[in-house]
């Protein structure tokens, strides 16, 4: 008995870990698109690690103090404690600037990875039975990630994020019946309230939302393990198996590598690429005007929707319904996420397909879904671009009016066009003959006699190893053929 065996035995006596061996055999399909969810996961890990570091220094208070820190241009100015502590984090805590910027970059990558991961699931039909629940957990995660990103972005209380908070207040205010009550309860008064919003956002941002996110990630992965991965069609792959690499050791090595790559990229971004230089914006003062106010990218679609919305306000019966805010900033995102939630059921209803699916679709064979999805992506992307109306007007030297009306038109035209083109492309691609043969390089050589001979070049790094039939993960690995010669499927193992 060696020490590993002894340790495993010790644990098994107490926890029965031996019964969990099959977990080590858990198969992960080898396809790049499966990395997206992992990137999101590791960005979250980075967010928690860097976030804990930040919270050791950050002071969640809007109380105004006179700044006399390391950043000379602001010395002697009145700033909030939150703002001052973020400057301190950036300029006086060694390593703080990198970690603060890394946290912000990680937030942008986190939401981005979730969004692209979700597109992957959508276009390949990964949300179909039995995975509808996990799709819904994923949508909730996307929503919470956006919310927490907005909360974190608002914490430093700089001029840009303070202005964003002002807009958020107005959005809450726009809700009929309860809007003003909600806004007053949350902020403790008319904007900017009595200062309570900062510690409230802080505790939501660093504790409440992250814990919910962590719990949902747990549920997401639990379901993933229970149901096992879906997989693309391929050699030896059926609805009743999964083909790929086992958790231990292959996937573990690869995914640990990915973790460090994600961490490394984020760390490098944090050090090399400036993000949210709040000292350039200045501290938040409600009467100060900001130029080119731009929220983080994942809020862009809402900002764009608010910009291109016509100024329709309903007044009557002694009441006001600010549709110009309510529609683009409350009802529209509400509708968006509702649609996301119910999509698996809507599609099942429309297609009548209620079977269990463990084999993913190639998008080209589902032209309607793919076209709809592409149109959706185009729609949100157009709205996102519309959040830069002022920048675009300046850049192209055209009037804001032209830009605005173009976007109102484009928000409809682009999705329709993209949808139609996607549909055609899918049809064309699907009509092309499929060759399942993997491409292999050949070596062409000339013999002394002048003959040309061609041989296969064999496996190269990166070649998909799907020329073999898949086998079960071996329980035991023999040292040589002799060891194994008596072996074979179904034989007792020791």
Partner 1 sequence: MNRETGVQSDGDRIYEPDYVPGHASGDRPMPENRDEVPDSPLPLVALDDPHLMPAAKNVKHTERWIAFLIVLASLGFAGYGAVYWQGGQPQLEGLTLGIGLLSIGAALAAWGKYLLPRGPFVEERHDMRSSDTEREQMAAAVIDRGKLVMRRRGFLGKMLAGAAGILGVVIAFPVIRSLGPLPKLALDKTNWRKGSYLVTIHGRKIKEDDLEVGGIITVFPPGYEGNAMDQTVLLRASTSPFTTKAGRETWTPKGYVAYSKVCTHAGCPVGLYQEQTQQLLCPCHQSVFDVLDGAQPVFGPAPRPLPQLPLMIDSEGYLRAQQPYDQPVGPGFWERS
Binding string, residues 363-402; x marks residues near ligand HEM by CB under 6 A: ----------------------------------------
Residues 187-226 that bind partner 1 (CB under 8 A): 187-194, 196, 226
Going from the C-alpha of 40 to that of each of 180, 232, 252, 361, 481, the distances in angstroms are: 36, 21, 17, 23, 43
Q: Closest CB to ligand HEM among 111 and 172?
A: 111
d(CA 74, CA 84): 10
Rounded to a whole number of angstroms, the minimum distance from the CB of residue 46 to ligand HEM is 9
Residues 340-359 that bind partner 1 (CB under 8 A): 356, 358
From the list partner 1, ligand HEM, none, partner contacted by residue 166 (C-beta under 5 to 8 A by kind): partner 1
Going from the C-alpha of 378 to that of each of 183, 297, 301, 304, the distances in angstroms are: 33, 15, 11, 13
Host H or E run for residue 454:
strand 452-456
Three-state SS string over 134-161 comes to HHHHHHHHHHHHHHHHHHHHHCCCEHHH
Residue-wise burial string across 32-41, b where 16 or more C-beta atoms lie within 10 A, e elsewhere: ebbbbbbbbb
Host H or E run for residue 28:
strand 27-28
d(CA 115, CA 111): 6
Q: Closest CB to partner 1 among 112 and 470?
A: 470
- Site size toward partner 1 (CB under 8 A) is 139
Residues 150-179 that bind ligand HEM (CB under 6 A): 152-153, 155-156
| Among the listed residues 62, 124, 140, 163, the single contact to partner 1 using CB under 8 A | 163
| Among the listed residues 8, 17, 30, 345, the single contact to partner 1 using CB under 8 A | 30
Which residue is it, tokens 């900002």? 303
Q: Closest CB to partner 1 among 412 and 420?
A: 412
DSSP state of 80: E
Contact stretch for ligand HEM (CB under 6 A) within 45-53, 235-243, 386-394, 436-444? 45-53
Residue-wise burial string across 324-344, b where 16 or more C-beta atoms lie within 10 A, e elsewhere: bbbbbbbebbeebeeebbebb
Cis-peptide into 130, omega within 30 deg: yes
Q: Closest CB to ligand HEM among 107 and 305?
A: 107
| Among the listed residues 107, 114, 217, 243, the single contact to ligand HEM using CB under 6 A | 107
Host H or E run for residue 444:
strand 442-446
Contact stretch for partner 1 (CB under 8 A) within 79-87, 117-125, 260-268, 275-283? 260-268
Q: Is 89 in the site for ligand HEM (CB under 6 A)?
A: yes
DSSP state of 450: S
Residues 354-413 that bind partner 1 (CB under 8 A): 356, 358, 389-390, 400-401, 404
| Among the listed residues 54, 269, 306, 308, the single contact to ligand HEM using CB under 6 A | 54
DSSP 3-state of 436: coil
Give contact residues for ligand HEM (rule: CB under 6 A): 47-48, 51-52, 54-55, 58, 86, 89, 100, 103-104, 107, 110, 145, 148-149, 152-153, 155-156, 205-206, 210, 213, 276
């Amino acid at each position: 008995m060696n020490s590993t065996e002894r340790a495993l035995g010790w644990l098994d006596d107490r926890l029965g870990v031996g019964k969990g061996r099959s977990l080590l055999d858990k198969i992960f399909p080898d396809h790049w698109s499966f990395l997206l969810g992992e990137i999101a996961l590791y960005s979250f890990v980075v967010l928690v690690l860097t976030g804990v570091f930040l919270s050791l220094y950050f002071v969640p208070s809007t109380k105004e103090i006179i700044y006399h820190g390391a950043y000379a241009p602001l010395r002697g100015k009145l700033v909030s404690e939150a703002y001052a502590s973020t400057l301190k984090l950036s300029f006086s805590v060694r390593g703080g600037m990198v970690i603060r910027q890394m946290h912000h970059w990680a937030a942008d990558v986190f939401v981005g990875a979730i969004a692209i991961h979700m597109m992957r699931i959508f276009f390949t039909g990964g949300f179909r039975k039995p995975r509808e629940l996990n799709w819904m957990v994923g949508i909730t995660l996307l929503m919470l990630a956006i919310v927490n990103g907005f909360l974190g972005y608002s914490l430093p209380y700089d001029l840009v994020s303070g202005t964003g908070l002002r807009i958020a207040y107005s959005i809450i205010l726009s809700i009929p019946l309860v809007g003003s009550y909600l806004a007053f309860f949350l902020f403790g008064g008319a904007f900017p309230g009595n200062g309570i919003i900062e510690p409230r956002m802080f505790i939501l941002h660093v504790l409440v939302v992250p814990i919910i996110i962590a719990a949902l990630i747990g549920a997401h992965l639990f379901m993933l393990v229970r149901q096992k991965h879906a997989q693309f069609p391929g050699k030896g792959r059926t609805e009743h198996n999964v083909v790929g690499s086992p958790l231990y050791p292959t996937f573990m090595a690869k995914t640990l590598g990915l973790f460090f790559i994600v961490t490394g990229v984020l760390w490098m971004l944090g050090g090399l690429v400036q993000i949210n230089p709040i000292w350039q914006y200045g501290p938040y003062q409600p009467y100060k005007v900001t130029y080119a106010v731009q929220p983080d990218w994942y809020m862009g679609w809402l900002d764009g929707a608010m910009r291109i919305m016509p100024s329709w306000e309903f007044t009557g019966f002694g009441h006001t319904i600010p549709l110009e805010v309510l529609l683009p900033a409350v009802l529209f995102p509400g509708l968006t996420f509702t649609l996301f939630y119910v999509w698996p059921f809507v599609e099942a209803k429309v297609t009548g397909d209620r079977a269990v699916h463990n084999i993913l679709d190639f998008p080209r064979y589902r032209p309607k879904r793919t076209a709809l999805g592409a149109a959706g992506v185009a729609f949100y992307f157009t709205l996102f671009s519309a959040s830069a109306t002022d920048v675009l007007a300046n850049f192209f030297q055209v009037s804001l009016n032209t830009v605005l009306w173009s976007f109102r038109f484009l928000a409809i035209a682009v999705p329709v066009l993209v949808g139609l083109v996607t549909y055609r492309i899918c049809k064309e691609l699907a009509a092309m003959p499929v060759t399942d043969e993997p491409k292999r390089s050949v070596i062409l050589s000339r013999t002394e006699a002048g003959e040309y001979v061609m041989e296969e070049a064999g496996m190269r790094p990166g070649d998909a190893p799907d020329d073999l039939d898949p086998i079960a993960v071996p329980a035991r690995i023999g040292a040589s053929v002799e060891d194994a010669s008596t072996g074979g499927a179904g034989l007792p193992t020791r």
